[in-house]
Structure 1
Amino acid sequence: MFEAHNVTDAELAHRPVKVALILALGAMITLGNVAVVAVIASSVSGWSRNSRYFLLSLTGADSAFGLVVMPLNLCVSLVKDVSAGPDPLCHAVAFFNSTVYSTCMYTLASISLERYVAVFYPLQYTALLTRRRTLLMIAFAWLFPPVLLLPISLPEGIIRVHFSAASLVCNPAYSSNVAYSLTLTGFLFFPCSIVMTYCNLRLWVAAKRQRLKLRQHSLNGRSRPDVASRVLVPVMTVYYTCWTPCMVTMLYNAISGNHVPEWVEFVAVWLPTSNGFLNCICYFWINRSFRKKFRAIIHRLCLGLCPQIGKVLGCTDAAGVHEVRGVLENNNTLQERSSSVSSTCTLLTLAPQGTFIR
């Protein structure tokens, strides 16, 4: 994204602070996604098999931020002389960076599309999203970006890569090829953004109409909680907040050939990785079934690994054990056609089954 430039004393002085921020963010991403995998690897009430496939794919892409992107770039920042020119190692790291970023965006778009089909075409859900089609969509999200981004990995190719002391990242110098930068943006950010915006906007409008209709026919006059705004608005807000600065900065540098200020570059480059942690909140922790299953797993671990500590914490009462068993033994009781990701399940609870307004 950014051309190499002379390292300033300020950039060297700020490096320990940046490394600490990256390590903290990496720890949050890893711990958050480990908890997510522990829950969705088993059955969660209201989540279909296809939903778990998509969500596991998203968790894998998010985990790659903390397990691949951050360690690789931090290692390069320690061993590479920032005054040196591009080398094969930096090209390889830049290729992994761009691939993980792109896979995450495609996976987010796939989840939005699956949620859209589950809500607006519930009767055709299993026919439209078969297991084979679901796996093909996931495979496309993981395999298409490496093919598209292959030129970045070639040291003698058309894309030059430099290590940026401002962001501590190996970045493709897209300003050397404006056409490629625009093509990359057109195949990644804009298509995924269009799909996500359209699907989530349609879901939000439909949920608003349904909520208004239920309010008009409510006998007790009580208004239902605005679940649509509480779920869909944060999803889109987090997405655009994390990804837009990076894409805008990339286009600005490619077109103008200038460099943005040091901390602007650092924030713009690393904001997309924070999406790996915020996705845990937007897609998982706001869902009641997920939180209940997570508490049940922690409860069982508490009883199995640390029974004495569990006794002190009150984890051994009969009622609690009975509830934990009920949650852990619960297999998907909802039909697959009415299952989707967390926000869809929440939206469907706004109305009795079969009354959702299209």
Structure 2
Amino acid sequence: MFPALNLSTSNVSDVDCQRLQELNHRSIKVCIIIVLGVMITLGNVAVLLVISSSVAGWSRNSRYFLLSLTAADSAFGLLVMPLNLWVSLLKDYTEGPDALCHVVAFCNATVYSTCMYTLATISLERYVAVFYPLQYSALMTRRRTLLLIAFAWCFPLALLSPISFPGGIIEVHFSTASLVCNPSYSTNVAYSLSLTCLIFFPCSAVMTYANLRVWCAAKRQRLKLRRYGCALRSRHNVAARVLVPVMAAYYTCWTPCMAAMIYNAVSGSSVPEWVEFVVVWLPTSNGFLNCIFYFWINRNFRRKFHFVLQRLALALCPELADSLGWSNSSTQFVSDVLVDGVHGRSSSVSSTCTLLSLA
């Protein structure tokens, strides 16, 4: 009798330790998600404050595409993360799939897909501007620009709509490993693979081809200008500084997630707990990295952001603005932007277009 009691007590202790370990892991994961969400939200709110008005050196079409990208990235912090954290707090893990989890999974997949399509449309716009500069106005009209943006937002809604229907062809479950409502791709391998073929691979192909062509053209142009003594050796390599980090961040953030999804669909088994957590939430960090690569390395963007801070400080706390000497620098900022407008665009999305059109 006593050995049985000791065995039962040992089993209870093991269960309690396992639950305590799960709670500790869950607390760490929630903290990571919250910190990442705050970083993404603050970064993209700052971007929206700046590009909601004109920025020197950025065309109207570029601003439209970048606003679309910023909105998609902001959805990570304002929609995806709060919804999944809310479900993780409300849902009983012993329960099966429900309508709420289907809706959350649909929002997750839609935002992820929209971000990839938006990045692909930005690469396409850059490619047209570089290789067809004289036809750019005719090819990239305002109507076509808005149609491309609408496609990037609406096509994922239609393509991923089966996820939102409980009892449909895609089952959804809440993953305690990643704290996300995930579609059970293993239940429909053909649909899972078709999603990958219609979203990740086309967007990756467009981005890789367009950015690689632009990078090669910029390199040839730089060598040609240097050969004729028209380029300064100290001038930064704009293409390498913008295009290479953008593509490296894209593949680093998105490839593990797509690989894990294909692995789950084909093998029917899941990856380890922390591996799943990392690969599921890693694409959201691309929403913060986009702020750095597309905006913060742009001199005009930084100057405009500084000007916005000055205006806010003057409106909310004039004493602080006077103590920092911002009250007298606002007018000087406007004249500096007019003078340095062309040079400051060298690290923006349209920077390579300007560099190559000089020849």
Matches of 2:326 and 2:113, distance apart in 1:
43
2:210 to 180, 191, 199: 199
| Contact 1:91–1:161 (Cα < 8 Å) also in 2 | yes
Alignment of 1:60-99 (within 5 A): 60-99=71-110
| Contact 1:73–1:93 (Cα < 8 Å) also in 2 | yes
Superposition deviation, residue 225 in structure 1: 2.1
Superposition deviation, residue 220 in structure 1: 8.6
Superposition deviation, residue 239 in structure 1: 0.4
Question: Which residue pairs with 2:137 in the alignment?
Answer: 126
2:40 to 17, 24, 29: 29
- Residues 1:343 and 2:354 are matched in the alignment: no
Matches of 1:327 and 1:76, distance apart in 2:
49
When normalised by structure 2's length, the TM-score is 0.90
Matches of 1:156 and 1:341, distance apart in 2:
49
Superposition deviation, residue 129 in structure 1: 0.7
| Contact 1:43–1:332 (Cα < 8 Å) also in 2 | no
SS at match of 2:325: coil
| Cα 1:221–1:237 shift into 2, 3 Å | closer
Question: Which residue pairs with 2:12 in the alignment?
Answer: none
| Contact 1:11–1:165 (Cα < 8 Å) also in 2 | no
SS at match of 1:225: coil
Superposition deviation, residue 49 in structure 1: 1.0
Amino acid at match of 1:235: V
| Contact 1:106–1:192 (Cα < 8 Å) also in 2 | yes
Question: Which residue pairs with 2:290 in the alignment?
Answer: 279
Matches of 2:42 and 2:160, distance apart in 1:
29
- After superposition, what is the alpha-carbon deviation per residue over 1:125-161, rounded to whole angstroms, capped at 9, x for unaligned? 1100111111111111111101111110110101100
Question: Which residue pairs with 1:321 in the alignment?
Answer: 330
- Residues 1:230 and 2:236 are matched in the alignment: no
Question: Which residue pairs with 2:301 in the alignment?
Answer: 290
Matches of 2:230 and 2:320, distance apart in 1:
49
- Residues 1:17 and 2:28 are matched in the alignment: yes
Amino acid at match of 1:106: Y
Superposition deviation, residue 304 in structure 1: 2.4
Alignment of 1:38-117 (within 5 A): 38-117=49-128
Superposition deviation, residue 16 in structure 1: 0.7
Q: Which has the larger radius of gyration?
A: 2
Give the helix-richer structure, 1 or 2: 2
Amino acid at match of 1:44: V
- After superposition, what is the alpha-carbon deviation per residue over 1:146-183, rounded to whole angstroms, capped at 9, x for unaligned? 11111101101011000000000000000111111100
Amino acid at match of 2:348: S
| Cα 1:221–1:147 shift into 2, 3 Å | closer
1:166 to 177, 180, 188: 177
Question: Which residue pairs with 1:263 in the alignment?
Answer: 274
- After superposition, what is the alpha-carbon deviation per residue over 1:47-80, rounded to whole angstroms, capped at 9, x for unaligned? 1111111111111111110111001000000000
Amino acid at match of 2:92: D
- After superposition, what is the alpha-carbon deviation per residue over 1:103-131, rounded to whole angstroms, capped at 9, x for unaligned? 00000000000011111111111100111
Superposition deviation, residue 297 in structure 1: 1.2
1:140 to 137, 143, 151: 151
Question: Which residue pairs with 1:3 in the alignment?
Answer: none
- Alpha carbon RMSD of aligned pairs, Å? 2.1
| Contact 1:57–1:138 (Cα < 8 Å) also in 2 | yes
Amino acid at match of 2:145: T
SS at match of 2:311: helix
| Contact 2:37–2:81 (Cα < 8 Å) also in 1 | yes
The size of the alignment, in residue pairs, is: 339
Matches of 1:38 and 1:75, distance apart in 2:
28
Matches of 1:185 and 1:289, distance apart in 2:
37
Matches of 2:136 and 2:307, distance apart in 1:
30
| Contact 1:215–1:223 (Cα < 8 Å) also in 2 | no
Matches of 2:231 and 2:279, distance apart in 1:
49
Question: Which residue pairs with 1:4 in the alignment?
Answer: none
Q: Which runs of 5+ in 2 are unaligned?
A: 1-17
| Cα 1:205–1:71 shift into 2, 3 Å | same
- After superposition, what is the alpha-carbon deviation per residue over 1:273-304, rounded to whole angstroms, capped at 9, x for unaligned? 11111110111111111111111111222222
Amino acid at match of 1:342: S
Amino acid at match of 1:12: L
| Contact 1:47–1:341 (Cα < 8 Å) also in 2 | no
SS at match of 2:349: helix
| Contact 1:283–1:343 (Cα < 8 Å) also in 2 | yes
Superposition deviation, residue 322 in structure 1: 2.4
- Residues 1:305 and 2:316 are matched in the alignment: yes
| Contact 2:222–2:231 (Cα < 8 Å) also in 1 | no
Matches of 1:119 and 1:153, distance apart in 2:
40
When normalised by structure 1's length, the TM-score is 0.90
Matches of 1:173 and 1:11, distance apart in 2:
22
Ranked by relative contact order (alpha carbons within 8 Å, sequence separation 6 or more), the top structure is 1
Amino acid at match of 1:130: T
